[in-house]
Structure 1
Amino acid sequence: MEFIYTEPIGLTDLAVLEVGTQSCLPDMSFGPSVRDMYILHYIHSGYGTYSTGGRTEPIGPGELFLVMPDTVHSYCADSDEPWRYSWFGFVGTLAPRLVELAGFTVLSPVRTADSSLSIESLFDNLMSLRNEPAKELLLTALLYQIFGTLAIPDDAPTLRADVGHHIRNAVSFMNTRYADRISLNEIAEHVGLDTKYLCRLFQQRLSMSPYRYLTDLRMRKACRLLRRQLLGIAEIALSVGYQDPLMFSRMFKRTIGLSPTAYREKAKLESGTGI
């Protein structure tokens, strides 16, 4: 195991406390325990499991998992192909918001990094900063870069170059706030436009309304959560911005053509995990 402990040197927005990398032995485990910081892991190779909140999730190469502060958790390397991972331990007033923008929640602490992004190379740079005189600042800058990369939605449609900055700002707002109860007025206010004009722009450039874009975005996120087979329907509804599971189920069926339960069963059969 290689690791670096750092001194925050007065940083309050985001401060890296430790980083490291480790090639684990078979069945090597950590926890159950509680930490007083966030710890973001990236899996370079091999496999293992992460357990928190009564759920255990298998994790493999190219995936990340986040340990939340003051939360009981444990993780264990696979007995046949144990993982090699790198990690950041960090705190700060901006940490909760950065974690949210990167797509992590208490209910969804695991995500896959898009293969087209440079996440692995960013984690590979950790130990090269060991002897740098300003390593605390450099590691913090690297963590910001990682969060900035993860904040790029991995399932949002690619926008044409001519859609304009107002629509791009509105889409970015929805991509990061889809789990909240946001309204058309909030979206329009965020981009500084009248609601009617914003709707007209969306219709002209994307051939849909902002409401339709937000609904489609939420349903894509829900499909991904349903395929992972980890959360109940009510939990998934909350995760994508619906307080009422019945309303979520109606919107899901209207958009996808199947009920959430039927979609989950279909995904289970297609993945070969069905009985």
Structure 2
Amino acid sequence: MEFIYTEPIGLADLAVLEVGTQACPPDMKFGPAVRDMYILHYIHSGYGTYSAEGRSVPVGPGELFLVVPDIVHSYWADPAEPWHYSWFGFAGAMAARLSKQAGFTGPAPVRTPDPSISIDPLFRNLLSLREAPAKELLLTGLLYQIFGMLAIPDDTPPLRTDVGLHVRKAVAFINARYADPIGLADIAAHVGLDAKYVCRLFQQRLSMSPYRYLTDLRMRKACRLLRSQLLGIAEIARSVGYLDPLLFSRMFKRTVGLSPSAYREKARQENSGIK
């Protein structure tokens, strides 16, 4: 297995957090578990099965499957012809919308692209960007390209331009200030709109509230800090905007499904095993 972690500074709408590739052994299995980001897998060769929310789907060469944050899932290689796949781990304000427009909907979302679409080379080139000075931008550009190739025309009416501008401004504020004890009133004041109206715009654009976006962002940042094994729980809590470590621990378990200490131990074990 080979993979790259990134530091997607300033990429609010879509940010690649990691990429990798693995030729799996016949007994390879991941889960049941939850992840704190979206993970898009592409199958270069071989076969396997993806399972989530009570549905199991066989997946083979040229197909893709999407792991959705906070959903218990598992996937495993075919014992006779184990798969070789590559993946993007990503997050951002537009992650859910882009995934839906690319056709990843329902439990255990799997896509079989049109044969005329050549996606394989985009996934095979991921690790060649390891030393690129702007690898975060290049990898995010590749992911946008993949979503563009998979996109299904959206029959919903476009939102007014100012709606998008207000939401992007609010998202940028949250991304910059998530480590501070901010709330809805601070977000609304920054945008210059009524708090209830800001909530309505977030629901229209992102299908979530500003509070949910802020909490999800804080939990993703906390997960990365916990995986690094460098800071204590109280230090991580303060680093993501929680002055009370107990409140942080409750919110983390409610969002991720594990306590911070249990998540850290699980990450430690995974770092010495397979993806």
The alignment's TM-score, normalised by the length of structure 1, stands at 0.56
Give, in angstroms, the shift of residue 108 of structure 1: 5.5
* Counterparts of 1:63 and 1:53, CA distance in 2: 20
Amino acid in structure 2 at the alignment position of 1:45: S
The residue number in structure 1 matching 2:140 is 140
- 8 Å contact 2:52–2:74 — kept in the other structure? yes
- 8 Å contact 1:68–1:106 — kept in the other structure? no
Structure-to-structure mapping, 1:206-217, within 5 angstroms: none
The residue number in structure 2 matching 1:8 is 8
The residue number in structure 2 matching 1:64 is 64
Q: Does 1:114 align with 2:107?
A: no
The alignment's TM-score, normalised by the length of structure 2, stands at 0.56
The residue number in structure 1 matching 2:53 is 53
* Counterparts of 1:12 and 1:29, CA distance in 2: 32
The residue number in structure 2 matching 1:94 is 94
Give, in angstroms, the shift of residue 11 of structure 1: 1.2
* Counterparts of 1:106 and 1:37, CA distance in 2: 17
SS in 2 for 1:127: helix
Q: Does 1:126 align with 2:114?
A: no
SS in 1 for 2:88: strand
Q: CA offsets, 1:142-179, max 9 Å, x none?
A: 0000000011x4xxxxxxxxxxxxxxxxxx443xx5xx
Amino acid in structure 1 at the alignment position of 2:50: Y
Q: CA offsets, 1:78-113, max 9 Å, x none?
A: 000000000000000011110011001133600102
Unpaired runs of 5+ residues, structure 2, are 161-275
Amino acid in structure 1 at the alignment position of 2:126: L
Amino acid in structure 1 at the alignment position of 2:2: E
* Counterparts of 2:145 and 2:57, CA distance in 1: 26
RMSD: 1.7
Percent identical among aligned pairs is 71
SS in 2 for 1:27: coil
SS in 1 for 2:75: strand
* Counterparts of 2:73 and 2:85, CA distance in 1: 17
* Counterparts of 1:150 and 1:96, CA distance in 2: 14
- 8 Å contact 1:99–1:147 — kept in the other structure? yes
Q: CA offsets, 1:188-216, max 9 Å, x none?
A: x99xxxxxxxxxxxxxxxxxxxxxxxxxx
* Counterparts of 1:77 and 1:145, CA distance in 2: 27
Unpaired runs of 5+ residues, structure 1, are 154-171, 178-185, 191-275
> Aligned residues, how many?
160
Give, in angstroms, the shift of residue 27 of structure 1: 2.3
Greater gyration radius: 1
Amino acid in structure 1 at the alignment position of 2:145: Q
Structure 1 runs of 4+ aligned residues shifted over 2 Å read none
SS in 2 for 1:12: coil
- Evaluate the alpha carbon distance shift between residue 108 and residue 137 of structure 1 in structure 2; reply closer, same or farther with a 3 A threshold: same
Amino acid in structure 2 at the alignment position of 1:65: F
- 8 Å contact 2:22–2:84 — kept in the other structure? yes
- 8 Å contact 2:47–2:83 — kept in the other structure? yes
The residue number in structure 2 matching 1:83 is 83
Q: CA offsets, 1:220-270, max 9 Å, x none?
A: xxxxxxxxxxxxxxxxxxxxxxxxxxxxxxxxxxxxxxxxxxxxxxxxxxx
Give, in angstroms, the shift of residue 124 of structure 1: 1.1
